[in-house]
Amino acid sequence: MNTKLKGSICGIISAISYGTNPLGALFLYGAGINANSVLFYRFSLAAIVLGSLMLLQKKSFAVTAKELSILGLLGVLFGTSSLSLFNSFHYMAAGIASTILFVYPVMVAVIMAIFFKEKVSIVTILSILFALLGIGLLYKGDNGSTLSTIGVLLVMLSSLSYALYIIIVNKSSLKMSSIKLTFYVLLFCTLTIVLNSFIDHDQPLQLLTTPFTWMFAIMLALVPTVISLVLMVIAVHSIGSTPTAIMGALEPLTAVIIGVVVFGEAFTLQLALGILMILTAVMLIIAGKSLSPKRLTTAISYAGHVILKYWRWK
């Protein structure tokens, strides 16, 4: 398997895994567990899993002071991103929050272009446009109501924090395995959540007392945390920050599917078209430079035809 294919596969699985966050979070919220507690168990259990794996493989835990400072920054950023996103679930539907979160690939592309002079190709631009178009089609407020300003600001903070996390992973001088990197990030994420629980007196850490709550806490630790973060690091190192971020379009797609299948939300033509646009964006970024101008034109024409047909039908 070549590096690009490996990175693409890891990016796709990472995005889908991360998109399962609402599934575990909403069930735990329903059981009366607050956001700080949900994230504390998510990060601490995930750190235990990765730490145990490193012990079994007899991997070194040693890091330099410089590496520790970078890992600490990554942990604070990812912890902030998760805390903001999970708190936004209290102000808007989790599927909508996960959908708005996708502005982070745009942030990644803009930051990389401005501060790191990364060339933005026509394929990358089109991928972002298709993905944003798909996100716009997926977006739908509950009964047409106006979204909460606080909720939107929380999601935007989550997006910015996650974008910076991806860029630092790509541009930092860290030379260690993805498992070791993620282990230390999760440790600092846990510390961030503990600190926030002391600051936010309305959300103290709670004990999990039932098999039901432990089951979803473990699910959050493994799927959208261990699997997603480890594979995301591999993807970033293999194909770069921007392609990995754009593949994150599969995150809100996953959230929408969970909403339809698990929570009984309606599956409409608009929803289907949004999914098509997102998949088009992901396929474009995977194809990359190998995509000929003729095929690129065909893809654009097809997408335009589908959109035009939809609006005429509407």
pLDDT digits (tens, 9 = 90+) for 239-289: 888 788 788 888 888 888 887 888 777 677 777 787 778 777 777 776 665
pLDDT over 90 (residue 53):
yes
Q: Identify the pLDDT of residue 97.
A: 84
Q: What digits encode the pLDDT tens for the residues 167-206?
A: 998 888 788 888 999 999 999 999 999 999 999 989 999 9
Task: For residue 70, give the amino acid letter.
Answer: I
Mean pLDDT for the chain overall: 85
CA distance 160 to 158: 6
pLDDT at residue number 294: 65
Distance CA 208, CA 130 (A): 42
Contact 197, 205 (CB under 8 A): yes
> Residue 140 gets which letter from DSSP?
-
Single-letter residue type at 65: A
